[in-house]
Amino acid sequence: MLSVHTLAKLIDQYCSNSDRHYVYGTAGFRGPAATLDTVLFATGIIACLRSLALNGDVVGVMVTASHNPPVDNGVKVVEPDGSMMPELWEPLATQLANTLAIKGSSNERAQATLSWFEKELKDQLQSANKFYNEGVVPTLVVARDSRESGPKLLSCLVAGAKELFHAKIHDFGLLTTPQLHFLTSETAKGVSNVTELRYYRHFLQAWNHVAQLHGIGDHLPTISSLTIDAANGIGAPKVQELLSQWACRGQVHFINNKWTNPELLNHECGADFVKSNQRFPLGFNDSKGLGCSYDGDADRVVFYYVNESNKFCLLDGDRISALFAHFFSSMLKQAGLQSQLSLGIVQTAYANGNSTEYLQKTLQVPVSCVKTGVKHLHHEAVTKYDIGIYFEANGHGTIIFSPKFYKVVKEQERSIAVETLEAFSQLINQTVGDAISDMLGVLAALSISKWTPQHWGEEFTDLPNRLAKVIVPDRSVFITTDQERRLTKPEGLQAKIDETVKCFQKGRSFVRASGTEDAVRVYAEAANVEEVEQLTKKVKNLVMNSSQN
Ligand code: G16
């Protein structure tokens, strides 16, 4: 495939980081940007191999660290249909990054990498090897978020892909993560000359269709105003671009849209800040309307409003699931399709206990629980339901419509409900959670259901909950089972957590290592705020003590 000499030269030029350990985790590789050039170079190669294994089909690569601080960056690989790279490929990405990053001279690193290739090309990478030998050229589409480190890191990725594989690369420049997923899938469908405009046109057309079916003109009927907090990230210019042609733009107000100041990214704003701290982002002062916060790459969204007691009320991913579950149950009933099409919700262990109860008991829809990470939720939604709604409590999620959904809906006599189901499926970015498309979906569902934010917030009451972080010397010693709800290691820790939880009314708590940050996450919920604070503190202490032993 290539000579030691050529590879060693490239390693000299693009892979300054060595003697480190990397893992392709929850959302690809992530970490301090200064430690990632070798990883990006490795990812360029993996993306090419993935494209080759698919006979040159287009593979997407997004350079982003989403909700992480501005000094971090990361990268993830996207399939031609816009979904995440298959899990089977994750260990390959991990191995390649770590082989390129071994301690040693560039010659030694190149030698080790070539040995790895030799073995894998005969083993797991056989199909990539076959197509490579037949002269197939890989195709990549790439983009990055607004972080300062993006251009340099992307150049490492492009170098590997171009020099080693002569890959065809379409660089979209700055995009949100969901735009990259969407445009990858459009490119793979064979649409020629895919540009960003396609994304805006698609979602505006879908909105216009839904709005026309329900007589929504230039004013959203159940909210007075909408404040969008874009976390000072790349979502800011993108949503502004889309909404510049939106009929209801007069109701919108933007905050935290200084995306050209990368040091402000996610700083006291954005979905992760709002959800974790359960408070308004910096600059929010709309006590009458609805607020929403995106994260750094606009793949998550949470909403909030001020209630009559002047209190902050969060409408997170669990609430979005509840709204959509209510909306689709009602539409299926109106269309007479409730027995033909299955509707289900996918959550993670972070879902509030009362949201699960509301979905199962009040709305009577099935709920599955899977591990954290969009890929797990997505897979469950695709395989189990005709309308699979998945949202993590942090606001990351989407809705997936099965091929059967489209077939059944097409066969029906036209009615408002049937047409709404069809049009709504276009309003949702089915490739991945998308703050912009989810926001339009929520606004449409609220308008059609005639729900105000208050109504939405009062459908059920969340159990008081806390999400905390503990920094430990080595988070990899925390091993979980049962969809991450229980620890198997460190030995004995789960039994102590169980004992502690028993002392609290409606107590629940679990511990898991983050896949995107160097921390262990502690989640707790209980019957009241005092108890949840105490429970969180106790479990945090147990985690800290277990790390000192
Ligand atoms: C990523 C993943 C999400 C996950 C979040 C936190 O989100 O895509 O599925 O919930 O990280 O994961 P962890 O608890 O493992 O750190 P994002 O928005 O940062 O890409």
Residue 147 has pLDDT above 70, yes or no: yes
Two structure tokens written together for 150: 């993006």
Atom of ligand 1 nearest to the CA of 519: 16
How far apart CA 513 and CA 474 sit, in angstroms, is 9
Q: Does the structure show a pLDDT above 90 at 26?
A: no
Percent of the chain, pLDDT > 90? 97
Question: Torsion over CA of 175, 181, 187 and 191, rounded to 10 degrees?
Answer: -90
Locate all alpha helices (DSSP H) within 60-176, ordered by sequence. 90-100, 106-122, 126-133, 150-165
* Distance in Å, CA 373 to ligand 1 centroid: 6
Give the closest residue (by CA) to ligand 1 atom 13: 514
pLDDT exceeds 90 at position 3: no
Question: By percentage, how much of the chain surpasses pLDDT 70?
Answer: 100
Contact (CB, 8 A) for 124 and 39: no
Which ligand 1 atom minimizes the distance to the CA of 392?
A: 10
Residue pLDDT, tens place only, 413-442: 999 999 999 999 999 999 999 999 999 999
Q: Is 193 exposed, middle or buried (0-12, 13-18, 19+ CB in 10 A)?
A: exposed
User: Would you say residue 25 has pLDDT above 90?
Assistant: no
- Residue stretches of the annotated binding site: 66, 295, 297, 299, 392-394, 512-516, 521
pLDDT at residue 1 greater than cutoff 70: no
Ligand 1 atom closest to Cα of residue 513: 15
Q: Which amino acid is at 187?
A: T
37-56, pLDDT tens digit by residue? 999 999 999 999 999 999 99
Mean pLDDT of the residues in the chain = 96
| Ligand 1: residue whose CA is nearest its atom 1 | 27
Ligand 1 centre distance from Cα of residue 26 (Å): 6
In ligand 1, the atom with minimum distance to the C-alpha of 76 is: 20
pLDDT at position 2 over 80: no
Residue 544 · residue 536 · CB < 8 Å? no
What span, in angstroms and rounded, lies between the C-alpha atoms of 499 and 279? 31
Report pLDDT digits (tens) over 359-400: 999 999 999 999 999 999 999 999 999 999 999 999 999 999
Protein residue closest via CA to atom 9 of ligand 1:
373
pLDDT beyond 80 at 547: no
Which ipTM score applies to this complex? 0.95
Question: 281: helix, coil or strand?
Answer: coil
* 263 — pLDDT class (breaks 50, 70, 90): very high
Catalytic residue among 66, 83, 321, 355: 66
For the residues of 179-208, what is the DSSP string, one character each? HHHHHHHHHHTT-SS--HHHHHHHHHHHHH
- Determine whether 254 is exposed, middle or buried from the number of CB atoms within 10 Å of its CB (0-12, 13-18, 19+): middle
DSSP 412: S
Binding site, annotated residues for substrate: 392-394, 512-516, 521
Q: Which atom of ligand 1 is nearest to the CA of 30?
A: 19
Mean pLDDT of 310-322: 97
Q: What is the mean pLDDT of residues 453-480?
A: 95
Tell me what pLDDT residue 192 has.
87
Helix pair angle (106-122, 4-14), 10° resolution: 120
- How far is the centre of ligand 1, averaged over its atoms, from the C-alpha of 177 (Å)? 13
The per-residue pLDDT for 517 is 87
Give the whole-angstrom CA distance, residue 531 versus residue 507. 8
Q: Which helix (H) or strand (E) holds 493?
A: helix 493-502
* Average pLDDT over every residue of 101-130: 95
Question: Ligand 1 test: best mutation among 516, 517, 522, most atoms within 8 Å of CB?
Answer: 516
| Domains annotated on the chain, with CATH | 4-194 (3.40.120.10), 198-312 (3.40.120.10), 317-456 (3.40.120.10), 465-548 (3.30.310.50)
Mutate to test the pocket of ligand 1, among 144, 372, 469 (most ligand atoms within 8 A of CB): 372
Which pTM does this prediction carry? 0.96
pLDDT at 329 over 80: yes
| Contact predicate 428/441, CB 8 Å | yes
Output 115-123 pairs: Cβ under 8 A, ≥24 positions apart. 117/1, 120/92, 121/1
Judging by beta carbons within 10 Å of its beta carbon (0-12, 13-18, 19+), is residue 229 exposed, middle or buried?
Answer: buried
Closest approach atom of ligand 1 to CA 516: 16
Tell me which of 2-6, 18-22, 464-468 is least confident: 2-6
Using an 8 Å Cβ cutoff, are 61 and 78 in contact? yes
Catalytic residue status for 66: yes
Confidence of residue 549 (pLDDT cuts 50, 70, 90): low
Binding-site residue numbers for Mg(2+) are 66, 295, 297, 299
The sign of the dihedral angle between the CA atoms of 507, 512, 515, 520 is positive
Question: Which of the listed residues 26, 295, 301 should we mutate to test ligand 1's pocket, taking the one with most ligand atoms within 8 A of CB?
Answer: 26
Q: How much is the average pLDDT of 97-123? A: 96
- How does pLDDT run across 216-225, given as a tens digit for each residue? 999 999 999 9
φ, ψ of residue 24 to 5 degrees: the values are -80, 100
In the reported structure, the alpha carbon of residue 532 is separated from the centroid of ligand 1 by a whole-number distance in angstroms of: 23
**CA dist., res. 68 & res. 63, Å (int):** 13
Q: How far is the CA of 334 from the centre of ligand 1 (A)?
A: 36
Ligand 1 interacting residues, C-beta cut-off 6 A = 26-27, 66-67, 295, 299-300, 372-374, 392, 394, 396, 514-517, 521
CA of 392 to the centre of ligand 1 (A): 9
Nearest CA to ligand 1 atom 6: 516
- Output the CA 432–ligand 1 centroid distance in Å: 13
